[in-house]
Homo-oligomer: A and B are copies of this chain.
Amino acid sequence: MQQRTAQARWERWTQRPLLALAVVFAVAYALPIVDTSAGHAVTVACTAVEWVVWGAFAADYVVRLALTERRGQFVRSHWLDLCAVVLPLLQPLRLLRLVSTLLLVGRRAQMADQIRVTTYVAGAVVGLLMFGSLAVLSVERDSPDGNIRTLGDALWWSFTTMTTVGYGDHAPTTGLGRMIAVGLMLSGIALLGLVTANIAAWFMERFEKDDVEERAQTQAILALTEEVRALRAEVAELRDHSLRP
């Protein structure tokens, strides 16, 4: 119990700093893509910042592992976190570092009970749109056949993809760009499902409230309780009478 409390305390304390670091990562990731005139020094600095943020999340994973008692179970139930920590080490690709950090941020955010589902989903959608746009832009800009060359085009393409509209005026042409697109499409389907399910749940809740059968039951139970109380009163009267004489 003590160990679990220690882990939970750590997770509560580090939550806000880690989210702040995620914002720092976002800026460091976006800067060299958006500002193409940025010099070599800026790019190097941004890469360094990205590695530092990734390092912080990796350290967080290690600390949480150390604070848990059942380590085997923690590793097994957090295998996605482990992959996200190890992957950028194997191949220092920028896109991989982005996906890893997004995964780690998402896993940490899910852990926090305060953040409600809707807020989490809205955050995830906005984050996916932003990072999807930036990642596609950085990948497709250098492709000879590419047609996504400005941040505006990339954002527009992300929106048409996630809402499954898909005009086709812009579409990724490279393998990496298409993988990012597949990620956006799947999130789009999840988004559509979430919106529909939310509305359906809200509808159900409304019509559940005036469930006739349920209310009839409650009425029947209350009537029965009244009946039993009357019976008890009668029995009490009977007892008083038979005890008195």
Q: What residues make up the interface of A, taking CB atoms closer than 8 Å to B?
A: 152, 156, 159-161, 163-169, 171, 175, 178, 181-182, 185-186, 188-205, 207-209, 211, 213-218, 220-225, 227-232, 234-239, 241-243
Contact = CB atoms under 8 A, between A and B. Distances in A.
B239 A234 contact: yes
Contacts of A200: 193, 196-197, 200-201, 203
A218 B218 contact: no
Contacts of A234: 232, 235-236, 239
B163 A163 contact: no
A202 B201 CA distance: 10
Contacts of A168: 166-169
Contacts of A242: 238, 241-242
A-B pairs, 6 with minimum CB distance:
A165-B166, A167-B168, A197-B200, A193-B196, A168-B168, A197-B199
Given A165-B185, A198-B203, 6 more contacts: A163-B189, A189-B191, A194-B199, A201-B204, A220-B222, A230-B232
Nearest to A222: B220
16 contacts: A152-B178, A160-B166, A163-B188, A164-B165, A165-B166, A166-B168, A189-B191, A192-B196, A197-B200, A198-B203, A204-B207, A205-B207, A221-B221, A228-B231, A241-B242, A242-B242
